[in-house]
Amino acid sequence: MAGTYHFDAADRHNAFITRVESAAFGDGRLAGIPVAVKDNISTRGMQTTCGSRILKGYIPPYDANVVELLREAGAVIVGKTNLDEFGMGTTTENSGFGPTTNPHDPARVPGGSSGGSAAAVAAGMVPMALGTDTGGSIRCPAAFCGIVGLKPTYGRVSRYGLIAYANSLEQIGPMGRSVADVATLMEVIGRYDARDSTSYDRPYTHALSGEIRGMTIGVPAEYFGEGVDPAVAECVRNAIATLEGAGAAVEECSIPSMEYALAAYYVTCTSEASSNLARFDGVRYGPGVGTKRSWHDEFQEFRSEHFGHEVQRRIMLGTFALSAGYYGKYYAKAQVAKENVRRDFLRVLKSVDVIAGPTMPTIAFRLGEKSDPLSMYLSDVLTVPANLAGVPAISVPCGRVQGMPVGLQIIGRHFADEVVVDVAFAFEQEGSACM
Amino acid sequence: MHVIIGLEIHCQLNTATKLFCGCSTDYRDDPPNTHVCPVCLALPGALPRVNKKAVEYALRVAKALNLEVAEECEFSRKNYFYPDLPKGYQITQYDRPLAERGVVEIEADDGTPKEVRITRIHMEEDPGRLVHKSGRDRAGYSLVDYNRSGIPLIEIVTEPDLRSPKEARRFLNKLRNTLEYLDVFDGEREGAIRVDANISLEGHNRVECKNISSYKGVEKALTFEITRQKNQIARGHDITRETRHFNEGRGITMSSRSKEEETDYRYFPEPDLRPLRVRDWLDDITLPELPDARKARFVAQYGISHNHARTLTGDMKLANFFEKVAGDDPVLAATWVADTLLGELNYRDMRIDRVPPAHFADLLVLLRADAITDRAGVDVLRVMLDEGAAGEEMELPSAVVDRLGLRKAAGDEFDEVAAQVVEAHPDAVADYQNGTGGALNFLVGQAMRKTRGRADARDLGRRIKELLENKEA
């Protein structure tokens, strides 16, 4: 039933960049339910910054497709959540609007880049939120904050209105307190949209089922390799044992191409980003560019001043990877590696229904802990393969280590989003393994 | 020293909407930034979507120019910074274009047929347009108009097969004509065609001339470049391999010192669009009758000369006009359209669509019935066209003839005039009888003056001669 929602929850973790005090809502599936939207998704009439100073004050004149769908379903969009600038980060520390903190321990990061959405849900401010996932940006914060987050199959949710970081890898997805909330939100946003040429006409409709008897779960050795915290690995192994106890068969497997996944991922996403971010020139939106000197001088300075360091680093990396003489060495090779990862997943997913492993190799970092960009990039190793392969992947809380949440990641076949959600639901029903 | 020329031609396709969004392409008389949306303004998050019509139009061209259409083509991003390019990249095609390897037949300078190979055709979007405050007090800023942003273009690249500026011009005319026959292009729209020309003298470096935006400009720019390069070589200088810009106003090319040419465009496949399986579309692409076929048909069907057929079919609208007025005497019609009308139109800088075919047909009827002389016919045509040029309604030729009394002098009037002239010029009559050759012509001229061209000179000559012979006898 239509009405007005007053949003007065305190934001103790800097989860929001923009919030509304009250908003009218209509009828529908999500009538009156407050939903937070990551601030790289365009909202008509509501500031959309991508966590960047370069877009401060930008108010889109149009809604992203997913936002239209939310409004049609009666949801209340209560605000725009914090993120690593343009989605570039794993901690939500790289925001032009200050870091978001983890509701389970404010001295730790919430994960990223959809850290604001995860913290808003984990802190109980909203039951569900939209995130975006280019290399783990939904699943990582879901794992770190102890909530559920789904990266849908590439093409299942329209990207129209999503301010792209890496178009070929990125998907908008639902985040929520429970698997059921995530499934509900996915039913609302998982719709074909002709305005996104990479969108498929495979609408998500789903009756949740916790029945996993007869299913085979593949456990790749690479998901428990070097760099994975043994305590986290143990917690996740226990979770997989729980699924086995619920009737699934477990099979060891291997995804050898994962060795190249991180490199392929960082070359691809920085390349695309270097091009995507070219439009931020201070002419049409955001703070204005000066007009005193020549165009090239002014906008160069404008970009140096308004983009954060991590963004500038990735623009430079991507520009390099695409430049003449290096394209073949980097970008083209990354595409080959990406294709190999996809094939590996397709091969493994022929004999198993889903793949399971940890979402993140560790629990949430302390604020400032990952000061070296390379060690930060390495923490994405378990999430990026699903983006390269384009397959759906969900993170569901499966226990705690040192009091911090751990996420179980379940990866499925293309367009089998319903299956990964069911497996997550089955696990949720069975209860956490080592809580 | 052989001249070697290759062209890159950008043509705007005349689809109703832009290449990647639904904005109208009909922006030319409208205020700036009124044909725009999130997509062509490159607002964050907006995504391109391919206009199928534009792909169809491009395929028509590919088919007409005998290109091999790719099984699958792909869009790429061409990255560079310029304020008229709102995304910071242009969506174009790079290593997987729509079509490759075609051929167009033109006439070489010696009149023999010649094949010009087409390297490729690809699709791309037009950028916006910078508007500078003109005049003496130049503003210290530029304005950007995004109405043009996203207009569909095809780029047609030729092999270096052209050997003179005139050949280049003929190739362009043929191309433009073909595109108009295909109904994918409106050559009269301002900025509808833009040409980059590569030109070299055999054995020397190649120079690229950019920014040529008219048909005449291409010939001028090439002619200037050839002279410039020949002079350089004559002075013992090397030709610098460079990009030059054509200044249409001054008719010269100038070295562009901009950093643009060093730009590394960092092409990569456009991740927001899927590849297009264009070969599958080909079956649905049907071509209309093209200029060469129409020319052959004109000769066969109407019995007109090759020259006339070539002139008439060299402009689709002219050919359409001819077919409307051809009537019972297509040879007469062809002569009057191709020789007389075309000249009068060019003289007035008028377009063929300003001439109502019914009016012209009326003129042809008068001529065919021998009701007016050819000279009177030209006069009537001029009256009509002048009225049209002045924005007035054109009179029907028969009305002009009646109003000005141009109907051919005949019968009593004709005889009377002849008699009067003979009567009035006894000297000339005497000259004639003494065998002075010019005398008869003089008398005929006098008679023509009297009838103000309404009589046929040959008929008059015959009649006057009769009178003179009778007089003698």
Chain segment A5-42, per-residue pLDDT in tens = 999 999 999 999 999 999 999 999 999 999 999 999 99
Q: Which of B81, B88, B266 sits opposite A323 (nearest CB)?
A: B266
The yes-or-no answer on residue A38 being catalytic is yes
Same domain assignment for residues B315 and B462: no
Same domain assignment for residues B268 and B340: no
Which one, of B350, B294, B345, B4, lies nearest residue B177 by Cα? B294
Residue A319 lies in a domain: no
Q: Which of B356, B383, B404 corresponds to the end of one domain?
A: B404
Q: Which two tokens stand for residue A347?
A: 């091969």
| Domain CATH number, residue B440 | 1.10.10.410
Dihedral pair phi/psi, residue A256, rounded to 5°: -60, -30
Same domain assignment for residues B162 and B60: yes
pTM attached to this predicted model:
0.91
Query: Rounded distance, CA B190 to CA A424, Å?
Result: 61
Do residues A176 and A30 lie in contact, with contact meaning Cβ atoms separated by under 8 Å?
no
> What residue numbers bound the domain in which B212 lies?
3-284
Query: Rounded distance, CA A96 to CA A306, Å?
Result: 9
Q: What is the pLDDT of residue B467?
A: 81
Do residues A166 and A88 lie in contact, with contact meaning Cβ atoms separated by under 8 Å?
no
Substitution target from B43, B85, B94 for chain A, most A beta carbons within 10 A:
B43
Which one, of A190, A11, A35, lies nearest residue A127 by Cα? A35
Residue A265 lies in a domain: no
Question: What's the Cα-to-Cα distance from A268 to each of A281, A330, B204, B355, B427, rounded to whole Å?
Answer: 23, 9, 41, 60, 101
Residue A172 lies in a domain: yes
Query: Rounded distance, CA A26 to CA A93, Å?
Result: 35
DSSP state of B237: P
Q: Which of B284, B308, B339 corresponds to the end of one domain?
A: B284
Q: How many domains does chain A have?
A: 1
**CB–CB contact B266 A319 (8 Å):** yes
Residue A293 lies in a domain: no
> In a structure prediction context, what are the per-residue pLDDT tens digits for chain B, which is 473 residues long?
799 999 999 999 999 999 999 999 999 899 999 999 999 999 999 999 999 999 999 999 999 999 999 999 999 999 999 889 999 999 999 999 999 999 999 999 998 999 999 999 999 999 999 988 765 556 677 889 999 999 999 999 999 999 999 999 999 999 999 999 999 999 888 889 999 999 999 999 999 998 898 888 999 999 999 999 999 999 999 999 999 999 988 889 998 865 555 679 999 999 999 999 999 999 999 999 999 999 999 999 999 999 999 999 999 999 999 999 998 899 999 999 999 999 999 999 999 999 999 999 999 999 998 888 888 899 999 999 999 989 888 999 999 988 888 787 666 777 788 888 888 888 888 888 887 778 888 888 888 888 777 777 778 888 888 888 777 65
Same domain assignment for residues B198 and B95: yes
- Nearest residue in A to B89, CA atom: A275
Q: Which residues of B291-319 are buried (b: 16+ CB within 10 A; e: fewer)?
A: beebbeebbeebebeeebbbbbbbbbebb
Q: Which of B141, B142, B272 sits opposite A197 (nearest CB)?
A: B272
Please report the number of interchain residue pairs, chain A to chain B, with beta-carbon separation below 8 angstroms: 106
Q: Which helix (H) or strand (E) holds B123?
A: strand B113-125
Q: Looking at A137, A158, A274, A395, which residue is catalytic?
A: A137
**CB–CB contact A281 B81 (8 Å):** yes
Q: What is the pLDDT of residue B261?
A: 52
Q: Can you spell out the DSSP letters for A66-106? A: HHHHHHHTT-EEEEEE--SGGG--SSS-S-TT----BTTBT
Q: What is the mean pLDDT of chain A?
A: 96
Angle formed by the axes of helices A179-189 and A417-430, nearest 10°? 160
Q: What is the pLDDT of residue B429?
A: 82
Chain position carrying tokens 């092999």: B159
Query: Rounded distance, CA B225 to CA B238, Å?
Result: 14
Do residues B206 and B174 lie in contact, with contact meaning Cβ atoms separated by under 8 Å?
no
Query: By CB neighbour count within 10 A (0-12 exposed, 13-18 middle, 19+ buried), where does A373 fall?
Result: middle
Q: Looking at A52, A113, A117, A395, which residue is catalytic?
A: A113
Over its C-alpha atoms, chain B yields an Rg (Å, rounded) of 29
Q: Which amino acid is at A431?
A: G
What are the strands, taking DSSP E only, across A177-298? 216-220, 249-253
Q: What is the pLDDT of residue A433?
A: 45
The yes-or-no answer on residue A137 being catalytic is yes
Same domain assignment for residues B433 and B467: yes
Same domain assignment for residues B331 and B454: no
Q: How many domains does chain B have?
A: 3
Chain segment A402-433, per-residue pLDDT in tens = 999 999 999 999 999 999 999 999 999 987 54
Same domain assignment for residues B208 and B249: yes
Same domain assignment for residues B360 and B441: no
Same domain assignment for residues B208 and B335: no
| Domain CATH number, residue A17 | 3.90.1300.10
The yes-or-no answer on residue A338 being catalytic is no
Chain position carrying tokens 């991507």: A318
Same domain assignment for residues B295 and B233: no
Residue A97 lies in a domain: yes
Please give the torsion angle defined by the CA atoms of residues B320, B323, B324 and B327, in that order, rounded to the nearest 10 degrees: 170
Residues 6+ apart with CB under 8 A from A271: A318, A321, A322, A330, A331, A334, B268
> What residue numbers bound the domain in which A121 lies?
1-252+354-430
- Nearest residue in B to A161, CA atom: B45
Do residues B25 and B34 lie in contact, with contact meaning Cβ atoms separated by under 8 Å?
no
Q: Which two tokens stand for residue A337?
A: 């590696």
Q: Which of B46, B47, B140 sits opposite A197 (nearest CB)?
A: B47
Query: Mean pLDDT over residues A385-412, rounded?
Result: 98
Beta partners for residue B253, in sequence order: B246
Beta partners for residue A354, in sequence order: A217
Q: Which of B362, B381, B404 corresponds to the end of one domain?
A: B404
> Considering only CB atoms, which chain A residues are within 8 Å of B50?
197
Query: Is the N-terminal amide bond of A395 cis, ω within 30° of 0?
Result: no
Residues 6+ apart with CB under 8 A from A342: A388, A389, A390
Question: What's the Cα-to-Cα distance from B202 to each of B5, B190, B221, B233, rounded to whole Å?
Answer: 10, 35, 18, 11
Least confident of A44-53, A117-126, B168-177, B365-374: B365-374
Least confident of A357-361, A383-387, B345-349: B345-349
Query: Rounded distance, CA A56 to CA A42, Å?
Result: 13
